[in-house]
Each structure stands twice: as structure tokens, then as C-alpha cells.
Amino acid sequence: MFAILRVQKIKSRADAVCMTMHGKRADRGTHYDRNRTHLNRHWTPDPVDAPPDWNAAIDATVARLGARRRKGATLAAHFLVSATPEFFADDGGGLDIKKAHAWAEDVLRAFQERYPDQIALARLDLDESSPHMDVVVVPVYAKKTKYTCVLTVSYRQVFAGDDKYEAQTRLAELQDWFADAMSNWGLKRGRPKAQTQREHLTHQEYAERQKQREIALQQELKHARAIRAQNEAQRSDLTAAAHRLQAEARKRQLLLDEAQKHFRTTLKMLAGVRAKAAELAEIEDDYLTNVAAYKTLSWVDETVENLQQVQPTDRG
């Protein structure tokens, strides 16, 4: 299991206000469990039971040291120290509160030995997924002038150095020191960030990233709702069109049914006409036959009559 240490600047009063709000759980953070916030512990040079004001604690430490702080200078160094999450677990997999408190006391002693009288405040957070400790150190060095030596607040002189390479070297030294101080807990130094490629975020950076994610999510949701509304409108239009087509189809079916009915009636009428025509044709045939027979009989009668008229003359 590993000992974890990170350090960053508290650049401004606004940063300190944000950290005070976070310590009081009065910010918009969602990564802590308010039902466990009462388990957190707080330290300042004077005993406290509640989250202290970071600006006030830093100013009090600067005054106690009798140090000078250049206008616009970094206020303090903010250490975040922790260990592999399993380190804080009890046999049942839950949080071992007693162990966490004892570890925090050891952490505080180590910092007080390395930075005597420079600890402005500390806080043990047990309401987050990974227990950790925040330690605020006022970094000072003896600034020598031609005639005096003045204790001066300077993050760069103590932690950063002249360039990023010196800053990385000093951070590595700090991590070596902290791992050695925690070795009695069975903790060792973790792998460098260059190897793990892990990104570490401050609370402000985390909150800003969450805010941006929330904004992006809201935009996606808005876009999805717009598409849904558009689809609903299209579906409504298609449904209306389908209803119109169905009505038109029903109308055409009725017309087709009526036409078929009319066609069947017409066929029946045509069949009747054909039967009547056949009957008339038969009557006509009979008529013609009767006419022919009548003409024949008339001719016979006329012939007989003629013959009767001719016979007496012949006798004479």
C-alpha cells in the first residue's frame, strides 16, 4: 500500500474562501457523504471543533511567525496526503475510524517536525470515498538583505524553485520524506506521476470540471429533447397523414363496393335483356313463320280460286 502526497498553491483569498466552504461542506460538492461529515476532524494551533476559516488561520500563522508577505504573493501551501484506500479499511471492509485518527495524528506530528510553527490548519476528511488529510503550511524563508534578514512568505523559494524541473525534484523529495515518515504504517512511496499518467485535480478544478460536464449534459439533454419534440411532431404529422390515407382508402373502398354492386346489377339487367331478346327473337321467328305460312295459304287460296275460274271456260 502506498503513501500519497500532493501539494499546490493557495494563490488568493478567493481560493481560501472556497476551501473554507468546502471544509464546512457548504459548497456544491457531491463527492462526499453528509451523513459521515461528523466524523471529520479539524486542527489549528488553537483547539477547534468546527471547520476553521482558512484566510483567518493563514493570517494568524503569518502573524505568529512575524513574517512578511509580499502583496499578491501566494498565501500558503496546501498539502493533500492520503494512502491506498484499503489501508483505512477494517476486517469487514468498512472504515476503520480509530486507525484513520491515529494515522492523522502521525501525519500532523510529521508535518510539525518538518515545518515547526508553520502549520496553519489541518483537516481529516472521512466523509469522502478515500479518506485523506488536508494540511496547510505557510512557507517561509529567511530573506537576507544588505543589512537585515527578514522571514518572508514564499511558495516559490520553499517548494517551487526556479523552474519546473526544480519543482519536480522538490516534490519528489517531499514524497520520499512522507513515505519514509509513514513507513511505520507499512506504507511505501507510490509510483511517480510520469509513470502512472494520473491526473490530479484540486477541489476547484474538480468542481469546475463537474460543472462543465453538467453544462454539457444539459446541452445534450436539451438537444435530445429538441430531437424528441421534432420526432413527435413528425410522428404526429405521419399519424395524421396515415389517418387521411386510411379515410381515403375507406372512401375508395366504398366507391369500389358501390361500383361492384352496380356492376352486378348491370350484369343481372343485361342477362334479363338477353333473355328478353331471346324471347323476342323466338316470337319474331314464330311471327315470321306464321307470316310465311299465311302467305303460303293465301297463295294456295288464290291459286285454287283462279283454277276454279278457269275450269268452266275450258268446258265450253
Written as nine digits, the cell of 168 is 519536480
What pLDDT sits at residue 251?
Answer: 92
What pLDDT sits at residue 196?
Answer: 57
Residue 241 pLDDT > 70: yes
Would you say residue 206 lies in a domain? Answer: no
Per the structure, how many domains does the chain have? 1
188-217: pLDDT as tens digits: 987 666 555 566 555 566 667 767 888 888
**CB of 95 closer than 8 Å to CB of 103:** no
DSSP one-letter string for 198-225: -----HHHHHHHHHHHHHHHHHHHHHHH
50-99: pLDDT as tens digits: 899 999 999 999 999 999 999 889 999 999 999 998 999 988 888 999 99
Query: Maximum Cα–Cα distance for the chain, whole Å?
Result: 202
Would you say residue 239 lies in a domain? Answer: no
Q: pTM (2 decimals)?
A: 0.62
Would you say residue 112 lies in a domain? Answer: yes
What pLDDT sits at residue 290?
Answer: 85
Distances (CA, A) of 58 to 15, 44, 136: 12, 10, 8
18-43: pLDDT as tens digits: 999 998 988 887 788 888 989 899 99
Percentage with pLDDT > 90 across the chain: 47
Residue 166 pLDDT > 60: yes
- Give the integer Cα–Cα distance in Å for 167 and 174: 11
Would you say residue 288 lies in a domain? Answer: no
92-150: pLDDT as tens digits: 888 999 999 999 999 999 999 999 999 999 999 999 988 999 999 999 999 988 888 89
Model confidence at 311, in pLDDT bands (50, 70, 90)? Answer: low
Would you say residue 228 lies in a domain? Answer: no
What pLDDT sits at residue 316?
Answer: 47
Would you say residue 257 lies in a domain? Answer: no
Would you say residue 7 lies in a domain? Answer: yes
246-299: pLDDT as tens digits: 999 999 999 999 999 999 998 899 888 888 888 888 888 888 888 888 888 888
Would you say residue 269 lies in a domain? Answer: no
Residues with Cβ within 8 Å of residue 178, at least 6 apart in sequence: 3, 5, 81, 110
Q: Which CATH number covers residue 132?
A: 3.30.930.30
User: What residue numbers bound the domain in which 181 lies?
Assistant: 2-196
